[in-house]
Each structure stands twice: as structure tokens, then as C-alpha cells.
């Protein structure tokens, strides 16, 4: 059975999409640690991040770099943090988290609860910024 992320990529489950290319897909985390928390996912469904082929890892990180630059331009933060977890969704993904403080890196802290409207507005801004980037 396809993962929830494969269903998102296929358009079968809605998401607040940020960007897409031939091999990778990015969208906002539905339960963000901090505003702008994004997930970057390879289109090929592989559970564990380090089971991706070297070329897939390289492509995913080049794509994630561009998403991170767009996040930094749009979301006030000190920098964008990167985390690989995968305890919830068995489809490799990179968390990009705009950090204002170390606490934003904690997945078990009380989290902001943005509305879908707020997520949609933020995703729009990030998507426009991504599309403007070289």
C-alpha cells in the first residue's frame, strides 16, 4: 500500500504544496514545530533515508537546498534546521525547520496549531519565492 506521502505526491491526498521537480516534492508539515516547517520527499518510495541511492540523495539535497533558501527568504528565522526522523511515516523525507530558537527543533513540545487558511497563505508565499529562484 502506498505511503501517505506517495498519495500526496499523486494528488490523492491534499497538501500545502511548496515545490516539485521530476524526482522530489516539498510541502508544509501539517503539524509544524514552527511556522514554515516543510517536508522534502523523494518521489520514489523508500522507507529509510540512507537506503536511497547516492544519486537520489544528491538530487533530494539539491532540491532541499532550494526549498531552504525560499524558506529563509520568507519565514523570519535564524536559520533553517534539517532533521531526518521517519518514526511516523515510512517514506524517506527531510524536515526543514525555520529555527528561531533551539526549542523549535523539539518534536514533542507543544506546537503551534496553524489553520489550513494560514498554512495555505504561507505555502503561497514560499511557492512564489521558490519559483523566482534560479
Q: Which residues bind ligand AMP (CB under 6 A)?
A: 4, 13, 15, 29-31, 39, 85-89
Q: How far, in Å, CA of 47 to CA of 64, rounded?
A: 18
Q: Are 122 and 35 in contact (CB under 8 A)?
A: yes
**Closer by beta carbon to ligand AMP, 31 or else 62:** 31
Min. distance of Cβ 96 from ligand AMP in angstroms?
Answer: 11
* 93-104: burial string, b at 16+ Cβ within 10 Å, e else: bbbbbbbeeeeb
Q: Is 93 a residue of the active site?
A: yes
- Check: CB of residue 26 under 8 Å from CB of residue 19: yes
- CB of residue 134 to ligand AMP, shortest distance in Å: 28
**Given the complex with ligand AMP, which of 113 and 134 has the nearer CB atom?**
113
Closer residue to ligand AMP in complex, CB, 73/84: 84
The catalytic residue among 16, 37, 91, 93 is 93
Closest contact distance (angstroms) between CB of 130 and ligand AMP is: 17
- Expressed in angstroms, the distance from the first to the final Cα of the chain is 37
List active site positions.
93
Amino acid at each position: 500500500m502506498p505511503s501517505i506521502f506517495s498519495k500526496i505526491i499523486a494528488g490523492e491526498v491534499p497538501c500545502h504544496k511548496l515545490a516539485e521537480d521530476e524526482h522530489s516534492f516539498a510541502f508544509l508539515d501539517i503539524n509544524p514545530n514552527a511556522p514554515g516547517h516543510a517536508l522534502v520527499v523523494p518521489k520514489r518510495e523508500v522507507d529509510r533515508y540512507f537506503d536511497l541511492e547516492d544519486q537520489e540523495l544528491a538530487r533530494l539535497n539539491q532540491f532541499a537546498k532550494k526549498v531552504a533558501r525560499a524558506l529563509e527568504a520568507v519565514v523570519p528565522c535564524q536559520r533553517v534546521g534539517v532533521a531526518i526522523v521517519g518514526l511516523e511515516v515510512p517514506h524517506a523525507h527531510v524536515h526543514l525547520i525555520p529555527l528561531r530558537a533551539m526549542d523549535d527543533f523539539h518534536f514533542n513540545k507543544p506546537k503551534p496549531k496553524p489553520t489550513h487558511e494560514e498554512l495555505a497563505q504561507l505555502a503561497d508565499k514560499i511557492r512564489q519565492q521558490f519559483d523566482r529562484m534560479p
